[in-house]
Amino acid sequence: MTNQLFDAYITAPAMREIFSDRGRLQGMLDFEAALARAEAAAGLVPHSAVAAIEAACHAERYDVGALANAIATAGNSAIPLVKALGKVIASGVPEAERYVHLGATSQDAMDTGLVLQLRAALELIEADLGKLADTLSRQALQYADTPLVGRTWLQHATPVTLGMKLAGVLGALTRHRQRLQELRPRLLVLQFGGASGSLAALGSKAMPVAEALAEQLKLSLPEQPWHTQRDRLVEFASVLGLVAGSLGKFGRDVSLLMQTEAGELFEPSAPGKGGSSTMPHKRNPVGAAVLIGAATRVPGLVSTMLAAMPQEHERSLGLWHAEWETLPDICCLVSGALRQAQVIADGMEVDAVRMRRNLDLTQGLVLAEAVSIVLAQRLGRDRAHHLLEQCCQRAVAEQRHLRAVLGDEPQVSAELSAEELDRLLDPAHYLGQARVWVARAVSEHQRFTA
């Protein structure tokens, strides 16, 4: 359940559900139920109390509005939740209430509950990244030899291929998937330290309870509690920032290729998609906008996570609080960008004819380098470069195709035949290693996925 007007556009519903109020409560309640089981196994809690505690650990039993009002006074969500949990248990099995939250502190419940949410979020992001990478791999292979003009500094450069551009995105996604896999064991760890991190309240039972609790929740037991050591969360946020940036680059390129002046590639069309309130002809890149928007917002949120790292002593004032909405927002924005990127990648409409026409917009100038490289072997680099520069200037001034100007230039025709010039000025013959780059990116993707 959400109250955000734009959620359907910028966030994946499954991710919003993970970080909904109910999702947050359930994460903490899962911690409390597992704590009771772990402490029963260590002999601190009677087994008869566990069932009553578990039965009360269901988020739907609690009034979110009442808890929200209580948080304003309590300062965090665990304090009023534990109180409410105790009341629910006491109403049914009064003797079990005394064993709720035994030896734990509020941050243990909140941080471990968050880690449980992040595990679900990580699984969702990894699945979406894998699906998107599969699609980009297929599309890169399909368009491996489809030439379009390369653009540097937003100006026409030399030819590339659409497959090569898509393979660039694919390569970045593969690296991000590797990063997420590598950080997983560092991120998915228990938080359990009690008041100041020493677990003194549990005495000699502290380590048996901690080990059992980690096992119950299928989390690793870290070397010590991390109440004010936030590098794990910040690492995850930072990698998601990288994901957002790569998706934003994809969205930026798609939006530029969709510009009327280019018209080379389009998001898939659908009734009502990308229209204007006043201009019936418009076809706006509404999916790319989400990717660019996420790439614009997420860096600031990652910065907040970094800024919140120097937390005071054993428990933080304010800096911990700054994380509460920040990391969920990062996850939600990235999930929304991934969903929109998948729509674009699945149904992209490619106008190869327009791509070829745009390659010819400068009347052969984008292939000047190809001619210059060959002439350099025969005339010397400086002389060849100067000669081609003059020919290009003449072609622009006279509004003629570079092929015609070169054909009329005695210094060029003395070195290159008409057939050689035709070949050198054919974009399909100046694609370099584009196909190799596609094959390598696809191979890396397949190797990681296997």
How far apart are the two ends of the chain, measured CA to CA in Å? 37
Backbone angles phi, psi at 150, to 5 degrees: -80, 150
Give the mean model confidence (pLDDT) for residues 298-306. 98
pLDDT at 393 over 80: yes
Closest among 117, 123, 145 to 31, alpha carbons compared: 117
Backbone angles phi, psi at 378, to 5 degrees: -110, -30
Mean pLDDT, the chain, whole residue set? 95
Per-residue model confidence (pLDDT) at position 9: 87
Per-residue model confidence (pLDDT) at position 128: 98
pLDDT at 360 over 80: yes
How many CB atoms lie under 10 A from the CB of residue 272? 6
Angstrom CA distances, 75 to 68, 71, 85, 233, stand at: 10, 5, 17, 21
Give the mean model confidence (pLDDT) for residues 237-247. 98
Per-residue model confidence (pLDDT) at position 6: 85
List the CATH code of the domain at 1-104+202-219: 1.10.275.10
CA atoms in the 13 A half-sphere facing the CB of 362? 20
DSSP for 177-231? HHHHHHHHHHHSB----TTTSS-GGGGGGHHHHHHHHHHHHT-B--SS--TT--H
Torsion sign across C-alpha atoms 241, 244, 246, 248: negative
Q: Alpha helices, DSSP H only, in 308-433?
A: 319-347, 352-359, 368-379, 381-398, 402-408, 410-413, 418-424
Residue that wins the pLDDT comparison between 213 and 9 = 213
User: In the chain, where are the structural domains located?
Assistant: 1-104+202-219, 108-189+226-359+434-450, 365-424
Give the mean model confidence (pLDDT) for residues 352-373. 95
| Angle, vertex CA 103, rays to CA 101 and CA 106, nearest 5 | 60
pLDDT in tens, 114-138: 999 999 999 999 999 999 999 999 9
pLDDT at 409 over 70: yes
pLDDT at 4 over 90: no
Give the mean model confidence (pLDDT) for residues 286-306. 97
pLDDT in tens, 424-433: 999 999 999 9
Give the mean model confidence (pLDDT) for residues 377-396. 94
Per-residue model confidence (pLDDT) at position 378: 92
Percent of the chain with pLDDT over 70: 96
Per-residue model confidence (pLDDT) at position 1: 41
Distance CA 170, CA 141 (A): 11
pLDDT tier at 278, thresholds 50, 70, 90? low
Candidates 276, 303, 413, 443; catalytic one? 276
pLDDT tier at 283, thresholds 50, 70, 90? confident
Per-residue model confidence (pLDDT) at position 450: 85
DSSP-derived secondary structure letter, 267: P
**Which position has the token pair 């100006």?**
155
Candidates 151, 297, 315, 394; catalytic one? 315
Give the mean model confidence (pLDDT) for residues 61-70. 95
Give the mean model confidence (pLDDT) for residues 180-202. 97
Backbone angles phi, psi at 397, to 5 degrees: -65, -40
Give the mean model confidence (pLDDT) for residues 59-66. 95
Q: Which of 224-228, 281-285, 377-381 has the lowest mean pLDDT?
A: 281-285
The CATH label, of 3.20.20.80, 3.40.50.300, 1.20.200.10, 3.30.465.10, for the domain at 108-189+226-359+434-450 is 1.20.200.10
pLDDT tier at 7, thresholds 50, 70, 90? confident
Distance CA 75, CA 220 (A): 28
The CATH class that applies to domain 365-424 reads: mainly alpha
pLDDT in tens, 313-356: 999 999 999 999 999 999 999 999 999 999 999 999 999 999 99
Distance CA 350, CA 262 (A): 12
315 flagged as catalytic? yes
Distance CA 87, CA 53 (A): 11
Distance CA 38, CA 36 (A): 5
